[in-house]
Structures are given as structure tokens and as C-alpha cells.
């Protein structure tokens, strides 16, 4: 009797899931494997893409749209345009994403219309895509939304996208949201000032830098710098309880040459917090008239007892102002440049793509728990969740490297305070294809470094902050789900002692 009840319950659950998501047959999975193969080769196969885009199965249509965006062949625009009558919101969001990856200026009017979609994911992708196109017309579309809409879930993306577009100094659409009661909206207002250099921004940034929410203060002070801003306010922020705010205040003060600002930066060079001391050291390069004070201070701060990150920040300043002292420091740092050929991408068989689809794409589609990894670092434990369905090739490679022990011992060789913790490249591994997807580059994002799409071998990177300006150029492979405090306190030379899959 119990077996019969469990069977009936299982059938009921399966029927419920079937309403939400149609099953993927072996033929569907084979077609997804073909799409993955096209993406990996960056090959535009119009008949195959068109067939998938017209499939009766929405997951095939969705993945075909994403593939067109990743392949980034201009001929893909015609396929996207022909599919704009799509009714399913998930597929429509993918079509909108692809339009942004293709940077099609002729689609701005359609994207502006799509901003009004009742489905938040679709409207958000439209806003994000307008920020990727980066033209006056796309800025005008975003500004219009900021003036006329009250949908905060879309406005937030529009503010970030407007901040990406250069040479736009109209503050009115941004200022409409500066008094929003939602802190998550107000830090985006501060970010939207990113490419606006008008002195008119200063009083508004001063206001944001005094906000009760540290996230808003952080982004406010990050933009608040230069001769028209208030150095007195930034000196006050050196005592802020939030570490990120203090770090940005140091960086901002380095743009002033008055005695009070200089002395505040000079004193911060002694801070035990390398986020602060490295920003202070980097700022010293700007004080060309104060070298008599700077040189002995930096020489003393470059002793072997001080953190390596600080000593590396001091090196270019000494090379500029005191080359002999710079040479001595460089010798003690024992800098080495590892040269060598990065192995080419291995050729995958059809069976390889089928395995990746069955192992990562299908379980994610069915809503099963995503793969998780544990990094035991010299600062503590970091737990990661991988976006296996959205970046299956990268997930497969990450899991392979982890299981072979190749991530073990990898050092963090680049740490930019308030930005990113980046591993050194893992030796003797392949460059990997970027799988840009609909997941934004948020704080805690897992990605890897590159010099442009498809040019990066892992080491992997962890974002300390959201990175809206990099949307469309880096893969969102996963996210930190535990241990973000560890990420924020990583130092140069810290390493992943052991990596394993859960």
C-alpha cells in the first residue's frame, strides 16, 4: 500500500513539473549538444540555428538565441529579428540578451519597447543590452525609462546601463531616483554617475557619501574625487566604520595636492589593512613635488616585514622617484615572469558535448541542485555554486581541474581592493571559451581573467563588488554562497590549499 502511495505521489509531482517544463527527449538533448558545439567553435550554422530557434520546445528556442549571442556573427541579427514575436518570457529574455551581445544599433527601438515588458527578466535584459550598445540613442532610451517608469526592478538595471555610456552629462533622469527609499537603488544612482564628469555631480555624491547604508556611501565616495569635490569630507570618511568606504576615501584623497590630504594619505601608508596601505602607496606617484617626504617614507614601508601587496605597490613609485631604491626593492621581491605557450583548446567529439549536456545542462533544467565546490584557502573556507546549465563548458572544465588537483596550491596573484581577487594562471591548462550568459556580474561572482572574450586561461577570479561595466565581456561561471568575508580579506600570496567538489 505504501509503495502505491509513493508511486502515485511521484506521478503527481512529475505531472506538476511537466506543466512547468516540458521534458527534454534524447532528440532535444542531441540538438542542444549541437548548439553547444557551435558555440564552442564560434561557428555560425544558419540552418541549424534557425531550426532550433523555430523549435516547438521553448528550451531549444532559448538556447538557440543564447548561442547566436555568443557566436556574435552579424548574420545572427536577422534570425533574432525574425523571432521577435516570441511569447515565452524566458526565450524573449534570451533574444534580448543576444541583441545586446551583437550590439545591434538598429535594434534600439525594439529594445526600448521591450523595456515595457510585463516580465521583469525580459525588461531587465533589455536595459542591460542598451548599456552594451553604448550610443547616444541607447542612452536616450534608458533616460526615457528613468523619467517615465516606476518599476524599480527595471530602473535598477537602467541606472547601471546608463552609467556605462560615455559623454552623457544630463543628470536629470538619474536624479529622479536619488531619494529612493531603497538603498539598492541609491547605490545604483551613484554608479550611474560613473561617466559623468560634470561638477554638478559633486553635491549629489556628497549627499550619497553621507548615507546611512554603507553600500551607498561606498559607491558615493568612489566617484567623489577631483579638484571640485570636498577633500574635507573624504578625510572624514577615513574613519568610516565600513572598510570599503575607508579604502575608497584613501583612493579619492590621492587626487588632491593640499597639505591635509597629502598628510592623510601619507599616514595611511602605515595601515595594517592592505586595502588602505596599497591605495595610499599608489597615490604617492601623483605627488611629484613632495618626493623629499615620499621617498624615505616608502623605503621604510618596503621592508620585508611589510605585506607583499604593499611592497609591490611601492615599487613603481620608487622606480619613478628613486630608481636605485626601486632596483633594490625589485631584487628582494624576486619577481619572475613565467613564459610559455598556452596549450590550444582540445578538440571535443560529439560524445563529449553529449556527456556535458547530460551531466550539467539536463540536471539544471530539471531544477536539481547545482554543483558546488569548496576552496580551503590560507584565509579560510570559500564555498562556490556553479551555474552549470548556463556555462556547461566552463563548469565541466572547472570540475575537471578540481578533481585533478590542479587548482590546489594556486596563489592569488592580483588583488585590487574593492574590485577583484584573481588567481595566477593555472600552469599547463587550456584557454577556455567564454560563455557569457544572463547572470549578472554581481558581488561574489566567479569568473576568470582574460584580455577579451575567449582569451583567458584560468586562474579564476572572485568579484568583491558588482561589475556592471564588464557585462557581456566575462563569463558568470558561479557565485560565492559562503565565505565572502574570506574573499574580502585575501592577500597576495594567499592560495587555494585544497579544492574539492561537494
Q: Give the global pTM.
A: 0.89
Which triple of cell numbers denotes residue 344? 590550444
CA dist list (Å): 420 to 23, 245, 314, 464, 466: 40, 16, 20, 5, 10
Write the CATH number of the domain with boundaries 350-501. Answer: 2.40.100.10
pLDDT digits (tens, 9 = 90+) for 191-233: 999 888 788 888 999 999 999 999 999 999 988 876 556 788 8
Residue 351, pLDDT above cutoff 90 = yes
Please list the residues that pair with 411 across neighbouring strands. 495
Of 452 and 147, the structure prediction assigns the larger pLDDT to: 147
d(CA 418, CA 446): 15
Alpha helix segments (H runs only) across 149-201: 152-164, 172-175, 183-192
Q: Give first-to-last CA distance, the chain, whole Å.
A: 36
Checking if the pLDDT of 429 tops 90, the result is: no
Q: DSSP of 283-345, one letter per residue?
A: HGGG-TT-HHHHHHHHHHHTSTTS-HHHHHHHHHHHHHH-HHHHHHHHHHHT------PPPPP
Lowest mean pLDDT segment, chosen from 352-356, 449-453, 464-468: 449-453
| pLDDT computed for residue 197 by the predictor | 77
In this prediction, residue 200 carries a pLDDT of: 87
List pLDDT tens digits, range 42-98.
999 999 999 999 999 999 999 999 999 999 999 999 999 999 999 999 999 999 999
- Helix axis angle for 243-253 and 214-223, nearest 10°, is 10
- Tell me whether strands 372-377 and 380-386 are parallel, antiparallel or unpaired: antiparallel
For 289-336, what is each residue's pLDDT tens digit? 999 999 999 999 999 999 989 999 999 999 999 999 999 999 998 775
Average pLDDT of the chain, as a whole number? 90
Per-residue pLDDT at 7 exceeds 60 = no
| Segment among 7-16, 24-33, 391-400, 454-463 with least mean pLDDT | 7-16
Instruction: Examine the pLDDT at 338 and tell me if it is beyond 60.
Output: no
Q: What is the pLDDT of residues 268-294, one digit of tens each?
A: 999 999 999 999 999 999 999 999 999
Which comes out higher in pLDDT, residue 15 or 326? 326
Average pLDDT of the residues in 141-154: 95
Query: Do 92 and 117 form a contact (C-beta atoms < 8 A)?
Result: yes
pLDDT in tens, 226-254: 655 678 888 999 999 999 999 999 998 98
| pLDDT confidence of residue 399 | 96
Buried b (16+ CB within 10 A) or exposed e, 405-441: ebbbebebbbbebbebbbbebbeebebbbbbbbbbbb
What pLDDT band is residue 12 in, cutting at 50, 70 and 90? very low
Per cent of the chain over pLDDT 90 is: 78
Spell out the domain ranges in the chain: 350-501
- Specify the pLDDT at position 336: 59
Name the pLDDT band for 6 (thresholds 50, 70, 90): very low
- More confidently predicted of 453 and 399: 399
Residue 15's pLDDT band (cuts 50, 70, 90): very low
Count CB neighbours of 346 within 10 A.
Answer: 7
Out of 24-28, 442-446, 451-455, least confident range: 451-455
pLDDT of residue 19: 44
The HSE-up count of residue 133 (CA atoms within 13 Å, CB side) is 31
Of 450, 400, 446, the C-alpha closest to 425 is 450
Band (pLDDT 50/70/90 cuts) for residue 457 is: confident
pLDDT score, position 379:
95
* For residue 11, pLDDT beyond 50: no
Amino acid at each position: 500500500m505504501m509503495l502505491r502511495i509513493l508511486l502515485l505521489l511521484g506521478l503527481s509531482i512529475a505531472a506538476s513539473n511537466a506543466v512547468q517544463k516540458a521534458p527534454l527527449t534524447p532528440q532535444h538533448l542531441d540538438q542542444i549538444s549541437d548548439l553547444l558545439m557551435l558555440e564552442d567553435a564560434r561557428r555560425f550554422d544558419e540552418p541549424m540555428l534557425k531550426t532550433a530557434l523555430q523549435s516547438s520546445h521553448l528550451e531549444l528556442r532559448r538556447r538557440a538565441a543564447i548561442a547566436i549571442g555568443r557566436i556574435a556573427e552579424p548574420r545572427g541579427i536577422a534570425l533574432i529579428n525574425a523571432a521577435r514575436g516570441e511569447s515565452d518570457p524566458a526565450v524573449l529574455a534570451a533574444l534580448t540578451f543576444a541583441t545586446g551581445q551583437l550590439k545591434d544599433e538598429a535594434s534600439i527601438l525594439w529594445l526600448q519597447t521591450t523595456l515595457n515588458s510585463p516580465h521583469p527578466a525580459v525588461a531587465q535584459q533589455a536595459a542591460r543590452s542598451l548599456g552594451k550598445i553604448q550610443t547616444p540613442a541607447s542612452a536616450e532610451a534608458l533616460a526615457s525609462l528613468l523619467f517615465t517608469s516606476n518599476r524599480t526592478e527595471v530602473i535598477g538595471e537602467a541606472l547601471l546601463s546608463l552609467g556605462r555610456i560615455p559623454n552623457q552629462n544630463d543628470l536629470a533622469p538619474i536624479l529622479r531616483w536619488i531619494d529612493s527609499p531603497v538603498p539598492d537603488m541609491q547605490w545604483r544612482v551613484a554608479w550611474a554617475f560613473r561617466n559623468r564628469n560634470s561638477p554638478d555631480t559633486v553635491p549629489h555624491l556628497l549627499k550619497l557619501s553621507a548615507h546611512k547604508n554603507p553600500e551607498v556611501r561606498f559607491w558615493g565616495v568612489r566617484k567623489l574625487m577631483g579638484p571640485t569635490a570636498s577633500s574635507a569630507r573624504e578625510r572624514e570618511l577615513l574613519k568610516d566604520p565600513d572598510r570599503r568606504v575607508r579604502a575608497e576615501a584613501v583612493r579619492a584623497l590621492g587626487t588632491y595636492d593640499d597639505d591635509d590630504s597629502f598628510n592623510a594619505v601619507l599616514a595611511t601608508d602605515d595601515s595594517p589593512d592592505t586595502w588602505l596601505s596599497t591605495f595610499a602607496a599608489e597615490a604617492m606617484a601623483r605627488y611629484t613635488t613632495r618626493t623629499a617626504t615620499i621617498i624615505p617614507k616608502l623605503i621604510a614601508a618596503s621592508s620585508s616585514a611589510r605585506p607583499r601587496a604593499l611592497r609591490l605597490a611601492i615599487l613603481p613609485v620608487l622606480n619613478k622617484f628613486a630608481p636605485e631604491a626601486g632596483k633594490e626593492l625589485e631584487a628582494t621581491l624576486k619577481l619572475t615572469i613565467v613564459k610559455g605557450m598556452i596549450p590550444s583548446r582540445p578538440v571535443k567529439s560529439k560524445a563529449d558535448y553529449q556527456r556535458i549536456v547530460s551531466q550539467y545542462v539536463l540536471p539544471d533544467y530539471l531544477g536539481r541542485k547545482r554543483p558546488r565546490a569548496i576552496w580551503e584557502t590560507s584565509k579560510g573556507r570559500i564555498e562556490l555554486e556553479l551555474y552549470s546549465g548556463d556555462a556547461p563548458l566552463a563548469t565541466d572544465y572547472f570540475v575537471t581541474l578540481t578533481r585533478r588537483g590542479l587548482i590546489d596550491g594556486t596563489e592569488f596573484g592580483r588583488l585590487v581592493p574593492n574590485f577583484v581577487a584573481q588567481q595566477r594562471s593555472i600552469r599547463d591548462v587550456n584557454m577556455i571559451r567564454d560563455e557569457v550568459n544572463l547572470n549578472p556580474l554581481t558581488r561574489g561572482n566567479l569568473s576568470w581573467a582574460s584580455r577579451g572574450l575567449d582569451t583567458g586561461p584560468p586562474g579564476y577570479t572572485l568579484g568583491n563588488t558588482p561589475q556592471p561595466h564588464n557585462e557581456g565581456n566575462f563569463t558568470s561561471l558561479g557565485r560565492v554562497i559562503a565565505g565572502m568575508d574570506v574573499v574580502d580579506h585575501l592577500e597576495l600570496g594567499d592560495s587555494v590549499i585544497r579544492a574539492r567538489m561537494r
